[in-house]
A = this chain, B = another copy of it.
């Protein structure tokens, strides 16, 4: 048997009892004959507490120093987990991101992993140790500590798995796997035993934040199979891997939603103005991400632009737009009461008519659609937020997602 990488999130290591539980699970994998590398996040709300400490000192702390501070969260987790494994009589060694060879670029607070120098990890595995690597953090070529941004521990785990050519990367979380829809909305939603990387990527970026999209991207590039499962039960979860038999795939795998969006509409922009470039360059400079974008021509040679942003970015986005050159001539409206519902499925590419079926079912339910965007494996519709539940349930039912394959 080969190497497996296991990643445990903040909830899984929150408190001594949960840490002991994780230790027991890790040791079982060793008993099964695996060499195990464990990647852990900071405990529970440690990161938030550290951020509060920083805020008490400075409203704008330097990012390098923020990384220095935040990196202590995972360092505490890895040390405690190593101690817990030691009490079970197994050999364990904890490594910070720097010690584990997680080399990143220099973008503090949102660094990207450049490569993993796995010599130390490999050497410790060969000495018979369980190796525990701090997630979410790395080190620059200049030996400065960086963090990868929230959820970066997933990316650490996948990158380490890729570097070690691991059999599988297990992502332990507080949900049992990836479902065909949010079970809180659609009780008959089905646990998906397997999804493709692309599908996972769309599901991940659509609010089903079980896995960091960056982690899925890295997994796809290096072909690392992922197993998303619960750290509180023994049952298998969802395997994310390259879907080989594309023809057989059902056209829609799941329904996702995002109720954290807001819509901005700009009407009456004179045709010569390159409104797309003007607006999105300004928003990008301030780090505001834009999601669905629709541009149409209105009457009398004017343009209408409508797009969505995260609801928490709405005020900042409006402020920026109102200050753009010529904005006093436009009609600018905002709508916070919207939500996005999406159907995702790798089979969509080869099944025409899926988008039409979605519009059909929404029309049958009387749910108005404000905006539509599509990709090869996804169709997203912006709907009124108070109709979201009906929309998700109707789509889930229409595409028979509770039936087993």
Contact = CB atoms under 8 A, between A and B. Distances in A.
Interface of A: 16, 19-20, 50, 53-54, 56-58, 60-62, 64-66, 68-69, 71-72, 75-76, 78-80, 82-84, 86-87, 93-94, 96, 98-99, 120, 143-145
Nearest to A73: B72
A65 B84 CA distance: 10
Contacts of A79: 54, 65-66, 68-69
A94 B68 contact: yes
Contacts of A69: 75-76, 79-80, 83
A364 to B, nearest CB: 56
Contact of A80 (B16, B53, B86, B94): B53
Contact of A57 (B54, B66, B87, B144): B87
Contact of A82 (B50, B62, B83, B120): B62
Contact of A87 (B16, B58, B71): B58
A68 B78 contact: yes
A316 to B, nearest CB: 23
A27 to B, nearest CB: 14
A94 B62 CA distance: 11
A80 B57 contact: yes
A277 to B, nearest CB: 35
Contacts of A94: 65, 68
Given A50-B76, A53-B76, A83 B65 contact: yes
Contact of A65 (B53, B65, B82): B82
A169 to B, nearest CB: 24
Given A20-B57, A56-B16, A62-B82, A76 B72 contact: yes
Contact of A83 (B61, B98, B144): B61
B76 A58 contact: no
Given A54-B80, A57-B87, A65-B83, 8 more contacts: A53-B76, A57-B83, A58-B86, A65-B79, A65-B82, A69-B76, A72-B75, A99-B144
A265 to B, nearest CB: 40
Contacts of A72: 72, 75-76
A84 B99 contact: no
Contacts of A145: 96
A60 B83 CA distance: 8
B68 A82 contact: yes
Nearest to A77: B69
A86 B68 contact: no
A57 B99 contact: no
A145 B145 CA distance: 15
Task: Sort A-B residue pairs by CB-CB distance and give the 4 closest, nearest first.
Answer: A69-B79, A72-B72, A16-B56, A68-B79
Contacts of A98: 98
A83 to B, nearest CB: 4
A119 to B, nearest CB: 11
Given A72-B72, A86-B62, A57 B93 contact: no
